[in-house]
Amino acid sequence: MKLKRVLLKLSGESLMGEKNYGIDETRLFEYAEQIKEAQQMGVQVAIVIGGGNIFRGLKGSTAGFDRVKGDSMGMLATVINGLALSSALENINCKSKVLTAIRMEPIGEFYSKQKAVDYLSEGLVTIITAGTGNPYFTTDTGSSLRGIEIEADAMLKGTRVDGIYTADPEKDPTAKKYDEITFDEIYNRNLKVMDLTATTMCKENNLPIIVFDMDTPGNLKKVLLGEKIGTLVKN
């Protein structure tokens, strides 16, 4: 699979690195270096990043927050992460743009497909924040939507584990890794890769997903070079 344009989905939790909360600068700069490598290969990189290291809307609603306000807080958390990543990229001379699904100029430009595609075509790393701009949607769904909109060749889901397993490998030592799996198998086996809305959107719009370990420096480049690391999900 030749990847010319990708949507890289990063989790907010991964940005915590060794910390219990917030942003681990070491992890942030490791990510920035990997993203710069991808850009230097000529790959167009759009990024959607979660906000779980700062605030999770769903957890907030169980703690007494109104769900809609909680989700709005979660969306703002993704903007903070997007700005941090953009800053880390600029620091190593990798040009980027931050787009937001909720109007908040001058923090970021208001998202539109055309704007994102134009920036990608110019070789800028394009960081798309604030989810879909709507409550009740996760950043997984946001990344599926954006990946489909910008006509990405694949969604790369960077996680702490090196692919999809039969069970949680951090809890079950007998869990086996899939090299390839179909969207239907994910449904039937009830594997927690992404939420169902996100998975369905990728399936119906034929957007393959590669789940891989982003926390090991160099892995993003390996995925883009077509090395068989991680798990490929397709129809």
Q: Per CATH, the architecture of 5-234 is what?
A: 3-Layer(aba) Sandwich (3.40)
Q: What residues are paired with 98 via a beta bridge?
A: 127
State the pTM of this model.
0.95
65-100 pLDDT, tens digit each: 788 999 999 999 999 999 999 999 999 999 999 999
| Domain residue ranges in the chain | 5-234
Taking 50 as the pLDDT cut, the residues of the chain under it are: none
Q: Write down the pLDDT at residue 206.
A: 98
CA distances, 214 to each of 35, 57, 74, 115 (Å): 10, 24, 22, 27
pLDDT score, position 61: 66
**Half-sphere exposure (CA, 13 Å, Cβ side) for 206?**
1
